[in-house]
Structures are given as structure tokens and as C-alpha cells.
Amino acid sequence: MKVKTSVTLSRNVLEMIDAAVGKAGNRSGFIEEAIKNYIKQRLREQREREDLEILNRCADQLNRESRDVLSYQVDL
């Protein structure tokens, strides 16, 4: 279900939107898609920051485990 809302944009941004959508374009559809993409990007960046935090927190243990596994390798 769509909900009507009002957003105030600078003339410059509106002109860029109009140029992107063309004469028969749909401003609302363009803005909705842009916002969805922006939110997805922000969520992905947040997950990546959280993953990096976990890796950094566990780095010493992961490195010890890696060295242990590598010590079992045999040169042929």
C-alpha cells in the first residue's frame, strides 16, 4: 500500500531527478527506488562493520588456530 507524503527538495536535486527519469519518468518511483537502494547499502555497511568487529575481536584466536592447522601440513 502506498502512502502519500510530502518531501521538500532543493531545486538542484529535483532537476537531477527529472534528468534521470526523463520526460515520461516517474519521480515518486525513482525516489522510492533510490531510498530503498540507500537503505540496503546502509544495512550492508552495518553488517560489514559488525563482521569486522567480530573478526578483530577474535583475530588472536583465529590466528592461533590457523598456525596450529598449518603445522600439520606435510611437504611432499
Q: What is the pLDDT of residues 3-45, one digit of tens each?
A: 999 999 999 999 999 999 998 889 999 999 999 999 999 999 9
Check whether 76 has a pLDDT greater than 90.
Answer: no
| pLDDT for position 73 | 85
- Note the helical H segments in 1-76: 11-21, 27-71
Q: What is the pLDDT of residues 38-71, one digit of tens each?
A: 999 999 999 999 999 999 999 999 999 999 999 8
| Cα–Cα distance, 36 to 30 (Å, whole number) | 10
| Cα–Cα distance, 47 to 43 (Å, whole number) | 6
